Structure 1
Amino acid sequence: MFAKILTDLRKSQTSLTQNDMAKILGVAKTTYSSYEQGKRMPDMEIQKKIADYYGVSLDYLHGIKDQEERKYYSLNEKDEKDIQKELEEMMNGLTNDTSLAYMKNGESELSEEDAALLRASMEQTLRLSKELAKKKFTPKKYRNTKE
């Protein structure tokens, strides 16, 4: 159950790879892959990092709760589309000739791996900023919690 939920969560973020998650968690790619295959179970510290990263509870990760409670500031389908559109525009802005040149040591272009990490980081930042904006600007009468 844990392995399937972990895989589904990662795949829900279109540009996130197993390699990206391994780096985020500070484990080897093979270790992370074994989590998704159900061959290994991460220790509690790693499980907490995973839950925090995806914004879910440990109960949800372990399949104890069938469905995570949606908070009023949770991202909806339109938000996800907006994030992907903005992310594509940002990534295109890094590569076109009129953009600011992102160079490594002033010599070579950004490697594919570094570009993937930058993309994942920007996507997470966009998600967080959208959620924070919803928390701040949603009128109290539309909030479904006492937060």
Structure 2
Amino acid sequence: MPFNTMLKTLRLKKGLTQGELAKLTGLTRSAIGMYESGNREPKYEVLELLADFFNVDMNTLLDQSVPLTPRDERQIAADLEKMLADLDSKNAMAAMGGTVEDDEDRELLKASLQATMRLAKKIAKEKYTPKKYRHEEE
């Protein structure tokens, strides 16, 4: 996700307007608007400020993490389906202290597990991928 889209997404997740974000960060509403429209790129100090404000790292803001490959995505999907099949037994869910009551609960559980598995895969790839193979902009 490009910086401008990520900034808007993070702002909306906090339920803030551009003006409110500007007041809370000391930036101008105009600057926030230009960042979100992609008409201006922030300086390093502004990136640091926004990363701290949203409690994310700068790689998240700039989407410079190691991307997942189609093979990674297939492996996650396969692992997720196996995990959900294992959880379908009432004994498995009872051991975890609950049950999946309906399809909506199952979909929420699936989405949560998938997001967690993707994040874990990205963290592992970032940790174990040599720097020379990373696709970071210098």
Report the TM-score, using the length of structure 1 for normalisation: 0.47
**Larger Rg: 1 or 2?**
2
Report the TM-score, using the length of structure 2 for normalisation: 0.49
Query: By percentage of residues, which structure has more helix?
Result: 2
